[in-house]
Amino acid sequence: MSLFLVSTEVDITLELEVLHELREALNLEFKRLGPADRAVMARRLARGVEKLLPDLLGWEFEAPTSAQIAYATAICKRLRTEMPREVRARRGAMHRFLDEHSGSDRRSK
């Protein structure tokens, strides 16, 4: 059995190459478990993947630093605008926002 990561939102399926011994252990565990316990195992697997993804995706998807948020908040106050949700959530979006608006911040002083 192969392991697959499927995202229906972007219509992509990735086959994950996992050690044969781990696939066998996972197969045995799922065969042993009943439906309710399989759901619990699926949630545990999901939490494990959630912990790994930030490191795998890179810095751009990490949360912005408190200093970046403070600077962006000051810019937004001066521009009388709301900070976009993605800017508040992702460091890459924050970086682009600060690059784009830091000049307007300096000009408004």
pLDDT (tens digit per residue) in 56-92: 988 999 999 999 999 999 999 999 999 999 999 999 9
Highest mean pLDDT (candidates 24-28, 56-60, 86-90, 105-109): 86-90
98 confidence band (pLDDT: 50, 70, 90): very high
In this structure, the number of other CB atoms found within 10 A of the CB of residue 106 comes to 9
Nearest to 75 by CA among 103, 42, 55, 95: 103
2 confidence band (pLDDT: 50, 70, 90): confident
Q: CA–CA separation, 108 vs 81, rounded Å? A: 14
Across-strand partners of 12? 7
Type of residue at 36: A
Q: CA–CA separation, 109 vs 92, rounded Å? A: 26
1 confidence band (pLDDT: 50, 70, 90): low
Phi-psi region of 14 (alpha: psi -120 to 50; beta: other; left: phi over 0): beta
Domain limits of the chain? 3-57, 66-107
Instruction: Tell me if the pTM is above 0.75.
Output: no
